[in-house]
Amino acid sequence: MQSDDHTPKNAIVSWTGGKDGCYSCYKAMKDGYRIAHLLHFTNQKKTGSHELNPALIQAQAQAIGLPLLQQDFRSYEEEFKKAAQELRSRGEGFDAAVFGHIETHKPLVERICQELNIDLLLPLWKQNSEKIVNEIIDAGFEVILVSVRDGFLGKDWLGRRIDDKFIADLRKANSTVDPCGENGEFHTLVLDGPIFKKKIIITRSDPIHKEGYWFLNITDFALADK
């Protein structure tokens, strides 16, 4: 569903706190979309590789200055549609949904958007992982690794910033790891960037091992002026 060409189009964003969704949000904004809401979902069935303190997601939304809807789910598809309908029932209109997927889940998000009668935005779909990483760095995003998968990277990579040396260091450590972690090798947290009005400062964290992953357990953090 497209709005009039002269009217700014609104979009909702599927948000995990990581680089791909955040950069996709940024690209949608650059393309003229007004972001109406961030939607963050936590899987009740398993902790999984996206395990993060929910307060960090809230801090990101506050730092960017966008409203956030957080929900638990057993079915991501059903919960996303339910959340979108809830926003509509409040009178919030949107024309599109933004997802950060690069290689996976396209049929799922196509189905969601078809049923909601909105446009699907996949700004990173089928793009080269190294290109995406370099674009994220060049755009000025500050991103760290908050989980790494056993057998791919060690716990010493927790808290590692994605910087100009990241891809080269990744190749040395394990050449099989996708630079975007597209196969679940690692997951990230965005602390700052061009769409952030404030930045997140981590003041206390420790590594924990759970379900085949090392996680950076962030227990204390603050928002700081830029």
Q: Are 119 and 1 in contact (CB under 8 A)?
A: yes
- Both 56 and 110 in one domain: the answer is yes
pLDDT, tens only, 138-150? 999 999 999 999 9
Identify the domain boundary among 121, 154, 182. Answer: 121
- Both 105 and 156 in one domain: the answer is no
Q: Based on C-alpha coordinates, what's the Rg of the chain?
A: 17
- Both 100 and 181 in one domain: the answer is no
What is the domain extent for residue 94?
Answer: 10-121
Predicted local confidence at residue 1, as pLDDT? 44
pLDDT, tens only, 29-49? 999 999 999 999 887 665 444
Residue 126 lies in a domain: no
CATH assignment at residue 100? 3.40.50.620
Residue 24 lies in a domain: yes
pLDDT, tens only, 143-173? 999 999 999 999 999 999 999 999 999 999 9
Identify the domain boundary among 89, 121, 153. Answer: 121
Q: Are 33 and 10 in contact (CB under 8 A)?
A: yes
Give this prediction's pTM.
Answer: 0.93
Within 99-204, where are the H helices? 106-116, 129-139, 166-173
CA dihedral 94, 96, 99, 103 (to 10 degrees): 170
Give the C-alpha separation, 136 to 152, whole Å. 22
Identify the domain boundary among 77, 94, 121. Answer: 121
Residue 135 lies in a domain: no
- Both 115 and 16 in one domain: the answer is yes
Q: Which amino acid is at 50?
A: H
Q: Are 207 and 215 in contact (CB under 8 A)?
A: yes
Instruction: Give the range among 6-10, 106-110, 182-186 with minimum mean pLDDT.
Output: 6-10
Predicted local confidence at residue 45, as pLDDT? 61
Predicted local confidence at residue 51, as pLDDT? 63
Residue 129 lies in a domain: no
Residue 145 lies in a domain: yes
- Both 110 and 180 in one domain: the answer is no
Residue 220 lies in a domain: yes
How many domains would you assign to the chain?
Answer: 2
- Both 23 and 115 in one domain: the answer is yes
Measured at the CA of 141, the angle between CA 213 and CA 123, to 5 degrees, comes to 85
- Both 21 and 114 in one domain: the answer is yes
Joined tokens for residue 159: 């808290």
- Both 107 and 179 in one domain: the answer is no
Residue 103 lies in a domain: yes
Question: What is each CA distance from 182 to 41, 70, 85, 128, 166, in whole angstroms?
Answer: 19, 24, 30, 11, 15
CATH assignment at residue 193? 3.90.1490.10
Residue 192 lies in a domain: yes
- Both 70 and 34 in one domain: the answer is yes
pLDDT, tens only, 45-89? 654 445 678 899 999 999 999 999 998 878 899 999 999 999 999
